[in-house]
Structures are given as structure tokens and as C-alpha cells.
Amino acid sequence: MSTVTVSPGAEATTTLTVRNDGDIVEAYTLEVVGDCAAWSTVEPARVSLYPGTSEVVTVRLAPPRSHEVRAGEIPLGVRVLPTERPESVAVPEATVVVEPFHELWAELDPRRRRGWLGARFGTSVQNRGNAPVDVALTGKQAGEELRLAFAPDRRRLEPGESAEVRLRVQARKLIWFGEPAAWPFEVEPAQTTERDTGGERPDRPGALPGEFAQLPILPKWLLVVLAALLALLIAWFALVRPAVRSTAKQAATEAAQQETADGEQQGATTAGGSGGPAGGQGQDQGQGQGSRPGESSGSGGSGTGGSTTGAGTGSAQQSSATIDVQTAAGAEKEGTYRVPEGKAFGVTDIVVANFQGDEGVLTISFGERKITTIALETFRNQDYHWVTPIQIPENATVTASVTCSKPGTPATGTQASQCHQVLNVSGVLSDLAP
């Protein structure tokens, strides 16, 4: 047998001459052995020969187109086994040259992905040929919106070997708002195979299509929500807020007008009584009414005391009370103002002064009702206002409770020895119905 060349997926033949040099009729069984046995046959597989005769048999070679049959030289052996004299077995040999073929399989997974700026894809490649190859991956896109990077961008694969190559797709700029954008691209796997001459021949399979769907940073529905919130905010400043301010201003104007009318009425009564005893009685009566605010007084409770002032006539008058609380460090004290008997106090304003910058906690209560609790270190001056007065019944107290953690440093520059808070509460002091 001579050297024979065969291409995978094709067929080639060679011949073998079997001769009987014995002195008896002999039958011979022929079988291919070695690496070629799986895809080679002998025809006929059995011959009978008279002494001194010979016969030519055909060895048929049909290697499959598979990476399992490596390209290159493969030894071919045919075992010739005599039936009568098996000890005379012979194995003539030849060489089979399997030609290389190249087949590259590739897949992009997934084909489509979404993201704000970029996404990761996976590229699977497999060498289905029968010779080693160097695989290079390249990407292309119609425009210049994307950057495509492979890691690694080149691999050497043996026959039947597979590899995973990571692909990073990144957009060149962000989409801040609007509709998503679809950027198609292609991945081209190319292989280079070494020839006997040392040159390279490219073998390119089909391009793999992919797509990157770029999402906007601010979705369309968010813009609609922001526009609606902006419209509501504009409506508030244009309509609701002026209406609230107008209502408060009107209430203050009416109160001032009522106070002016009461003052004029009191002056007229005093002037009409100056000509006789009846007038004197009216003057005394008017003075008695004007002294009522002075009669109202507040007590400091366990603080340093309180004072009240009032202005107005009739059954209701504007009044204010001051509560002064001085507390040692680490201690707790209360200052109170008690509503006089037969009176009701409608509180509209509170002003709190922490002029030393003390640290601690201040709690303000109206009777059993706690109004607020604030940290002293968060303010120097704080004020509260109510359009609708908060009513405090007779004998109930306005209480300022101070827990002193650390006395502050007033404008003198010397740290105080005690916490010192001043609370001024203002409102309308009115007579209760008999």
C-alpha cells in the first residue's frame, strides 16, 4: 500500500495485494486496525487463494467531517489472518494524510439588552474543525453611538474546544429624558489557520446581530409627574397662599377696628359725666373697668415668676403674660401663668427667647394639653401664631417646663451659671358668662 490523502467527509481508496505462497489452499480474513479502523473497510473482507496465486483487495477510507478526526498523518494497518496457518498473520502498513477543514461556530447571548449607559453580552465560540485555529472577535456598528470591547479579543482553540468571550457595549453619551433608543450592532468572529507555508488564511463565519436598547435617565412618566407638581406649586402660590394671608389680614383689621370703637365709646362716656355727680360716677366706673388688666397677674410657678399686661374694654381685651424660667444645669423647673378666675384666655401668639444659647429641652403646655417640645440648642428666638385662638379655661395654666443640660454663653462672653428662658404668651382675655 502507498500513502493516500483523503478529505474529511469525502472518500479515498487504496489497494492491497494478497498472495498465497504456501502449498495448500488458504483463506485469508482482512481487517483494518489502528486509528483508521472506525472509518475504513476492506473489500472483500475474505479471500481464498490457491497456492501461488494472488488477489487485489480495495481499502476504502471515508473519514467523517468532524473535529474528532484530527488533520495530519495517520498510520493505516490491515491485518491479514490465514485460516489454516494463523501464526503466519501479517499486518502491512501505509500512511493516510487527512486534510484539514475549518468550521467555526459562534453565538451571541443574549441578542438584546437594555441599560442607561451600557450592557454586557456573552459570545460563545467553538472550533468544529479538525485543526487548531486562532479566533479573533470584532464588532461594528453603523454609527458612532457605541463602543464595543471584547475580553479577550483573541483565543486559540484546539479542535472541538469551546470558549466564552465577554463583550462590553457602552454608549458614548447618556439620554437624559425622552424615548428609549435602539442601537443595532454586529459581532464578527474570524479565524486564522496556519498553512504549511506559514501564511494565514481568514475563515469568517456569518456575522452575529445584536442590539443595545438605551433607556433615558428620566422616564417620560416622571416628567409628567414633575410638571403636575410644578403646576400645583404655582397654583398654591398664586391662589391659596394669598387667600390665607388675606383672611389673616382681614381678621387683624376687624380686631383693630373693634378696639378703636370700644376706645371711642369709653371716651364719650367719660366726657359726658364730667358736669355733675352722675358724670363722676361714670368716670369712676370707666376707671374701674380700665384697671382690670392690671388686676390679672401670672405666677412663675417653680420658675422665677410671670407678669401680665392688658389693653381694651368690655368683656374681651388683648392681654399678654411673661414667664421667666431660670434652671440650674442638670435640673428641671417650670414657670406658669394661671388664667384668673372668671376669665378665659384665647392664646394667639407665643414668643420664646433663648438669648443665652442654652442647651436642653423646653416643653410648652396649655393646661393638660402639651403644645410643643423643642431642643434649646436649635433656636435663639422662636415664635408661634394661630389664626384661631387656643382657649384656656379659668384657673388653668400656661406652663413652660425647662430641662437644662448646659447653660449657654450670652453676649457678654462669659458662660452663664443657669439656663434662662423667657416665654411671652399673648391673646384675648375675656369674661366668662355668669
The CATH number of residue 206's host domain is 2.60.40.2310
Are 179 and 303 contained in the same domain? no
Q: CA-to-CA distance for 273 and 268, rounded, in angstroms?
A: 9
* Phi, psi at 240, each rounded to 5°: -70, -50
For the chain, the first-to-last Cα distance in angstroms comes to: 140
Q: CA-to-CA distance for 421 and 358, rounded, in angstroms?
A: 9
Q: Which helix (H) or strand (E) holds 168?
A: strand 162-171
Peptide bond into 44 cis (omega under 30): yes
Q: How far is CA 339 from the centre of its chain?
A: 56
Are 306 and 396 contained in the same domain? yes
The CATH number of residue 70's host domain is 2.60.40.10
pLDDT tens digits, residue range 351-388? 999 999 999 999 999 988 999 999 999 988 999 999 89
pLDDT tens digits, residue range 318-342? 999 999 999 999 999 999 999 999 8
What is the length of the chain? 434
Structure letter (DSSP) for residue 215? P
| Mean per-residue pLDDT over the chain, rounded | 82
Q: Which long-range contacts (CB under 8 A, 24 or more apart) does 87-90 make?
A: 88/22
Residues of the chain with confidence (pLDDT) below 50: 195-200, 202, 266-305, 312-313
Judge contact between 313 and 269, C-beta under 8 A.
no
* Phi, psi at 96, each rounded to 5°: -110, 125
Domain range holding 13?
4-98
The CATH number of residue 390's host domain is 2.60.120.380
Q: Is residue 232 part of a domain?
A: no
